[in-house]
Structure 1
């Protein structure tokens, strides 16, 4: 069995495997080919990979000679391939035409962002491992962009009130943002459509904003669901009250396969005081404000809206380490102890993560 590690697009700093993961693979008798320069932005050169037991090859050589290709993002030259296994984070619900094309080519595709969010899948949950970093960096980015202190200060020149932070969404990114903001001394309020997260939010020292009547998300496999128009109206009223008092807002709300919901209207932003900051982690799918632009900072009537859906890439070493561990754990489901491919379709994680196989799109949600 041969696994090929591809270099990511120029804007991506992460890599699927660091040398430490290559060591774990080679111990299982798996041959690892690494595209030259694949790990440089994560601070690992080709020599590091060679010491770990990998073979450095050109991109064309890796594409042609590896049985399994690992790349975080979809890559254009996959159009040249047939009968390969691709594993990454391909957002298939947004990239349906691409998935259909890969199916026609006879490619077997696994997208780790589609794994069922069960207890057994936690060690492979790339969304959580990367969102944890995003939540942490979102607060640091906000603190850097904000024109005032985060903690309370009492000085001879006068007292400084602590920053008021509002976090919309208490998933993995939101919970890490709460913890980080609290460490920096901010007062934190949190909104989430799931009442079940209230206890976690409060245990981190934040106040939970409740809006009754949320749609049941218990059957959505751990993902968010769309809410009714009535609920959305009441939700916006409560958010508007909190936003008017907030200095920092961090938004994380996304729904798989759909445009991110608008949680912060222009009217709400106009009520915020000048110098306030919004960090929008849903920017890649449209953003949680109507003026968000991905990978840009927009100044709207004195409020900075920072759109960045890939904050994990600002910490490429740890992000790659965690992603690689998630991927390694998934590979153990499809490669047996002798290092041979073993696709067990009775395994809910193998079946749930598979998008294309045998010339067809197999994932029901993508269909």
Structure 2
């Protein structure tokens, strides 16, 4: 079977869906692999590295996709690429998992698997693209905060005097937030964090950060069975805001990471909170692609407010550490394929009744099959 890997064309996307490491393993399964020229350059992987791993270097999307039975992608292909994917091919990536996109995949005869919908179960941990990418996003957010902040993270004692440690506040203690806490601690910051999910309090403390937050009966049910944060009431967010408002005013760096699956990111930092911070303070909004957690975030941009607070709202935070993100993402996709690989037939065998397959499959044999979209 031919596996095609395209160069990503979406704005700000620097990652690639396969690396020389995973190409070798895909070939070892009995496949041929075609990689579009330049696909890995933004991740530091030249065409020659793919060629050495055994891949064919294709001059354009059409050449890569000709005869392909499997297409690996980071983001949903654009219309021009989608039209070139052979009918019956299996498309795997973080796809635009909405009704319109699913209909387009079905009409094109493509079996599409949206890896962002992977259920959070033990069997699926090694193929969880959201977790692998969020981990690196949390790390990168703190590194970029440190680069932007005009003082150091640790307490610095010199003959000329002492510079105090930076006060760092992490909002949201999911995978990204926990990595941000750990990274900020390693850099020597004085770290605190908040999260609406009840289990997060102990996780925050276990990393050496202090917990800040409002807790009530509603917050006890703030987590889905899949481990994601639930959308809570406006009243809860108002009370949470009261608790954190005074805390934010004392912070040098704030990193916001809160996402609600399938919905706009909640606004956690209001305009008034931003204006309460000291000049030179830094806010990093990891949720910028989902609308942002900060009222003054401009998605895709870095801005400085009138009171001198710098807000980093870059798009695609995992893509800002593309080499590592691509390596982990490519392994996630490889694990998904090998888990459902028919060794004798040398092809994927996606069992329709499998919990993982049911979670990610958008379309099959020209029909929309995902439960949340089939009737849309």
Q: Fold match, TM over 0.5? A: yes
Task: Verify the 8 A CA contact 1:83 1:107 in the aligned structure 2.
Answer: yes
Partner of 2:331: 325
Match of 1:340 among 342, 347, 369: 347
Task: Verify the 8 A CA contact 2:198 2:220 in the aligned structure 1.
Answer: no
State which drifts further: 333-342 or 161-170: 333-342
Determine whether 1:140 maps to 2:146. no
- Normalised to the residue count of structure 2, the TM-score between the two structures is 0.93
Unpaired stretches in structure 1, ≥5 consecutive residues: none
Determine whether 1:308 maps to 2:302. no
- Normalised to the residue count of structure 1, the TM-score between the two structures is 0.95
Q: Deviations over 1:162-182 (max 9, x none)?
A: 111110000111111111111
Task: Verify the 8 A CA contact 2:62 2:84 in the aligned structure 1.
Answer: no
Give the aligned length.
Answer: 365
**CA-based RMSD:** 1.6
Instruction: Return the alpha-carbon distance in structure 2 between the equivalents of residues 96 and 160 of structure 1.
Output: 54
Determine whether 1:39 maps to 2:40. yes
> What secondary structure is seen at the aligned counterpart in 2 of 1:256?
coil
Inter-CA distance 221–75: structure 2 relative to 1 (3 Å threshold): same
Instruction: Return the alpha-carbon distance in structure 2 between the equivalents of residues 137 and 218 of structure 1.
Output: 26
Task: Verify the 8 A CA contact 1:79 1:102 in the aligned structure 2.
Answer: no
State which drifts further: 341-350 or 8-17: 8-17
State which drifts further: 154-163 or 223-232: 154-163
Q: CA deviation at 1:215?
A: 5.5
Determine whether 1:98 maps to 2:104. no
Q: Deviations over 1:347-367 (max 9, x none)?
A: 100110111223332222344
Q: Deviations over 1:211-261 (max 9, x none)?
A: 212162444412221001221111111121210111100001111221111
Determine whether 1:110 maps to 2:117. no
Partner of 2:166: 163
Instruction: Return the alpha-carbon distance in structure 1 between the equivalents of residues 194 and 370 of structure 2.
Output: 32
Task: Verify the 8 A CA contact 2:12 2:315 in the aligned structure 1.
Answer: no
> What secondary structure is seen at the aligned counterpart in 2 of 1:279?
strand
Query: Which runs of at least 4 in structure 1 moved beyond 4 Å after TM superposition?
Result: none
Unpaired stretches in structure 2, ≥5 consecutive residues: none
**1:283-298 maps to which residues of 2 (within 5 A)?**
283-298=288-303
Partner of 1:84: 89
Task: Verify the 8 A CA contact 1:215 1:226 in the aligned structure 2.
Answer: no
Determine whether 1:364 maps to 2:371. yes
Task: Verify the 8 A CA contact 1:23 1:53 in the aligned structure 2.
Answer: yes
Instruction: Return the alpha-carbon distance in structure 1 between the equivalents of residues 196 and 367 of structure 2.
Output: 36
Instruction: Return the alpha-carbon distance in structure 2 between the equivalents of residues 266 and 257 of structure 1.
Output: 25
Instruction: Return the alpha-carbon distance in structure 2 between the equivalents of residues 224 and 15 of structure 1.
Output: 29
Determine whether 1:279 maps to 2:284. yes
Q: Deviations over 1:33-80 (max 9, x none)?
A: 111221122222222212212112231022232101111111222034
**1:241-280 maps to which residues of 2 (within 5 A)?**
241-280=246-285
Determine whether 1:19 maps to 2:20. yes
Q: CA deviation at 1:14?
A: 1.4
Instruction: Return the alpha-carbon distance in structure 1 between the equivalents of residues 262 and 84 of structure 2.
Output: 27
Q: Deviations over 1:315-353 (max 9, x none)?
A: 222211111111000012332123223120121001101
**1:140-219 maps to which residues of 2 (within 5 A)?**
140-213=143-216, 214=219, 216-219=221-224
Task: Verify the 8 A CA contact 1:215 1:225 in the aligned structure 2.
Answer: no
Task: Verify the 8 A CA contact 2:5 2:72 in the aligned structure 1.
Answer: yes
Instruction: Return the alpha-carbon distance in structure 2 between the equivalents of residues 37 and 140 of structure 1.
Output: 27
